[in-house]
Structure 1
Amino acid sequence: MRGNDRGAAAVAEHCRRVDRSDVRAARRRTVGRIRKTPVFHTTVAGPTGPVPVTLKLEYLQYGGTFKVRGTLNALLTSSARTDQVVIASAGNAGIAAALAAAWLGKACTVVVPESAPHTKVAAMWSHGAEVLWHGTTYAEAARHATELAAERGALQLHAYDLPAVVAGAGVVGLELEDQVRGKPPVLVAVGGGGLVAGIAAALGRRQQVVGVEPVGMPALHAALLANRTVDVGGPGVGLDMLGATRVGEIALDIARRYDVPSLLVTEEAIAAAREYLWREFRIVVELAGASALAAIQSGAYTPSPGERPIVVLCGANTDLGAL
């Protein structure tokens, strides 16, 4: 295939719509390879008293991140005949790529910005990945990853904006249908949007899916207002938590299709929610993993009478000393 043809094919794949059938296919493809993470029915402290919730314990996934679902699905569906994988990541996507590549006997190179947390880089190494530092931002690392993949003839993965990645993450939604009676709203942290988009694609209009973002990094919120993806954020804790300064095109498409709103919470509320999870349940999650709970505890999301919302706890790769 000539270079222009490969580029056109990549654009077509990148823009392809993701729906429930893609998520169901991802579940069939990855069954037995991925953990079906449990749910926990409990109550948490809210602004005016106890709030019944169902916690989806996705932080118990292999690698401590939901991202391994989408990465594995992408590798299993790829037609590229190569034993090398390249990805740019500030953290969890790199861990997921390293782990999934190791399962399938492929070499993995992760290009990380200089600000990548040591805890996450160490996890990449532990799964056998080559880690290369490049640039100070994810965007700079991503450009270098593209160049590197072309030089090596490697398969390049995207952390959140590939159809197979979104579909794989969406299996969380299918699991929730099996695990939780009724159709309660599902609150999901938003970084690049792969998880919230996948769950919304899986559930469609059967259940309300709600995105939750830090006020300093409102990527989905800003995209919905602008009706296009836009860069957001600046230096600060938000960058460390969720990484992406622009939501994915796929996530924006699905959010518009299924009316997925974005709620904003402060970094302080997210930190308090993470501390609460540790103090009350001995659950250890990273800041991003506590974002959805922060919406309930801060009052950004108020459940209807008799409602027990689902809160997805999505990542466990954190420095324990920060708790």
Structure 2
Amino acid sequence: MHPSYADVTAAADRISGQIRPVVMARADADTVPVDGQVWLALEHMQHTGSFKARGAANFTLAHREQGQLPKVGVTIASGGNAGVACAWATRLVDSAATVFLPDSAPVVKVNRLKALGAQVLSGGASYADAAADCQRYADVTGALRSHAYDDPYIAAGAGTLLDEIADQLPNLDTVVVSVGGGGLLTGITVAANHHGVRVVAVEPENCRAFNAALEAGHPVDVEIDSVAADSLGARRATAMALSAAAEGEVRSVLVSDADIIAARQSLWDTRRLAVEHAAATALAALHSGAYVPAHDERTAVIVCGANTDPSDLVGN
């Protein structure tokens, strides 16, 4: 069951004052070569460098309100960003985080976790391996198990981003969002359904968990092989995302790794924004023509994270 719009507004009240309101920037033709009116939602400027701070804060504060925050703290399996957000959020309540990472997690994210005081443990070769180790740890220690994306508090927190975008763009037609496991997509879609906004869900061609779930009519496992896999590499989309999508207008599109790399480079070239490949995936839909806004369409593209090593950006 996906969260309701009331859950999104409750999350907004709960995390108010703890997160940074999103900054919106009008995109010119150099950044987004389309005819429509396009804005960039610069959520990569959020605490911890990604939208994940919203859900993590909502999850942690809600459990504290309910008296369900154990002394041993919170544990999570993550490709990096959710773990960083969890570590940051536990500090809001004087708690601690134990984060299980797959061996492929980027060094920049590992270092950020350690700087936040998290206990960082190896979780094997894949996210699934890390998740299994995390569950075993929670079972043994009594730590509160959080999830990178499949949790209603996490999704509702993410949905607060769409409300902020809609407040700044009251005639918004479409929001374009990168998709991994579906936590951000769920929250964005729940809020978008309330506002009557179309959602374009963008995935790499070889990380297409949501796209495959739509085709099958239920969540299915997919193979993972993409430059954006460290953030978008979930093998299976959530049932929450499918449920929310069924209640509104959601279009699923796929982009190539080459499209993602080009979009990421363009953000650096035209705006001096150094973002993750996952964050550039949404923009890649417009760059590649996978999604073409109408001439009078008002579109927001979510730039969701910046925990990246920028050394591979040309002209750095």
Question: Is residue 257 of structure 1 aligned with residue 247 of structure 2?
Answer: yes
Question: Is residue 32 of structure 1 aligned with residue 17 of structure 2?
Answer: yes
> 1:82 is matched with which residue: 70, 78, 86?
70
Question: Is residue 66 of structure 1 aligned with residue 54 of structure 2?
Answer: no
Matched positions, count: 308
Q: Secondary structure at the match of 1:309?
A: strand
Q: Deviations over 1:159-196 (max 9, x none)?
A: 00100000000000110111113122000000111112
Q: Secondary structure at the match of 2:27?
A: strand
Aligned amino acid, residue 112 of structure 1: L
Report how far residue 266 of structure 1 moved: 0.6
Report how far residue 104 of structure 1 moved: 1.3
Q: Which structure ranks higher in relative contact order (CA pairs < 8 Å, sequence separation ≥ 6)? A: 2
Q: Secondary structure at the match of 1:244?
A: coil
What is the TM-score normalised by the length of structure 1?
Answer: 0.92
Question: Is residue 54 of structure 1 aligned with residue 42 of structure 2?
Answer: no
Distance 2:50 2:267 in 1: 17
Tell me the residue number matched to 1:219. 209
Report how far residue 101 of structure 1 moved: 0.7
Runs of 4+ aligned residues of structure 1 deviating over 6 Å after TM superposition are none
Distance 1:318 1:90 in 2: 12
Distance 1:30 1:311 in 2: 23
Question: Is residue 127 of structure 1 aligned with residue 127 of structure 2?
Answer: no
Report how far residue 217 of structure 1 moved: 0.6
Which consecutive unaligned segments of at least 5 residues does structure 1 have? 1-15
Report how far residue 51 of structure 1 moved: 5.1
* Cα distance change on mapping 1:49 and 1:77 into 2, 3 Å: closer
Tell me the residue number matched to 2:166. 177
> 2:277 is matched with which residue: 269, 273, 287?
287
Question: Is residue 101 of structure 1 aligned with residue 87 of structure 2?
Answer: no
- RMSD, aligned CA: 1.5
Question: Is residue 142 of structure 1 aligned with residue 131 of structure 2?
Answer: yes
Q: Deviations over 1:77-112 (max 9, x none)?
A: 123140310000011000000110112111110001
Aligned amino acid, residue 179 of structure 1: Q
Which consecutive unaligned segments of at least 5 residues does structure 2 have? none
Distance 2:59 2:23 in 1: 24
Aligned amino acid, residue 64 of structure 1: G
What is the TM-score normalised by the length of structure 2?
Answer: 0.94
Tell me the residue number matched to 2:148. 159
Aligned amino acid, residue 127 of structure 1: L
Aligned amino acid, residue 48 of structure 2: G
